[in-house]
A and B are shown apart, each in its own frame.
Chain A
Amino acid sequence: MNSIAANEIKTLKLSIYRYDPLKKEKPYMQDFDIDIPLEKDLMVLDVLMLAKEKDPSISFRRSCREGVCGSDGLNINGKNGLGCITPLSDAVRSNKLSIRPLPGLPVIKDLIVDMKQFVDQYKKVKPYLITDKKVDTREAIPQTVQEREKLDGLYECIMCGCCSTACPSFWWNPDKFLGPAALLQAYRFIADSRDTATEERLEQLEDAFSVFRCHGIMNCVSVCPKGLNPTKAIGEIKKMLVKRAL
């Protein structure tokens, strides 16, 4: 139970990154005092919504508010995470909460980043099943329980962008290094027993940048709100590429 820590918070010192592209001001941090109901361990998203009631011009994305849609990836007290499933008891330090947009992507406004580079990299890995197995529309392509288990930890990605925007290699080469999210997706199809395009997929990944710019820093693993392990998936791809080159 985390509610004990939350009970200690009364008036939270909240600080939010503000930027309006149409105004001349540089980006700045806007401070708020937010009164927190004592009995509940609120999530960071709840606090953002309370702040928006005070200042409706604050912009951020949100949808499911339960950690499955991936809208509200944010930098919360220095660490990437989803606002809607990060409790204050985990995030707040010394009664202070500082919220910034995900790092490494262009900021459109306030906490909203331009996800285009992220989505473009996702699309590059052909994130869909390619198969030459005979498909009868009256039945499923067979897959054993063991084969299906290989997709656990891969298919659950919600495309929130927390991992790729926590990755120094992605900050450095967002156009050439695919980033942990896209590579996790690449491996999700390589690992799928129904997919028959492994060779084609590996060929596309064998340059010096797409995969090999991953240096195993593991920021992606540390921030993934779904507990996934992109570094491991990238390691598997690297192994396959090395084996293939020999």
Chain B
Amino acid sequence: MRIHGEGELISAFIDGELGADEAAEVRDHIAACASCRESCASLRSAKSLLARAPRRAMPPDLVAQLEGRLARPLWRRVLDSLRPPVSILVPAGALAAAVLVVAAWFGARRALPEQGIPLEPLLAAHSRYTAESLVPASELVASNYSAQLNAYYGDSPDQE
């Protein structure tokens, strides 16, 4: 078994997680290898510091929540495990909202009346052509024609 430089194996040795044969083998290597002995001492020191660190009690509501979950039937716990994580739910929700907005926009466009062509240029074209009629009505035509132009290009009260 390779032991030299295997930090995880040394950590397991310190935690007493190895079998008797493995633990004896590691113990022999550490006794013979200065660098592994140093690593072992460093790991023991870190674990000792962590073990002495103050611990905070679990909030009571979290305890109750956990107990509630554990009390749920198995099928429910299976279903919960199948629920997608939040990291997927957020972008998926945003995408769905965007689709809804676009669909609503298209729907609104269809529901709204189509943007029409202003009537004034057509009235002006009709009047201007009427000026070419066989029987002249110059002033009448000119009045209509210029009024329609005014209604189209300006804010004249002459609008129809």
Note whether A and B form a binding pair: no
Give me the interface of B with A, judged by CB distance under 8 Å: none
Residues on A lying within 8 angstroms of B by beta carbon are none
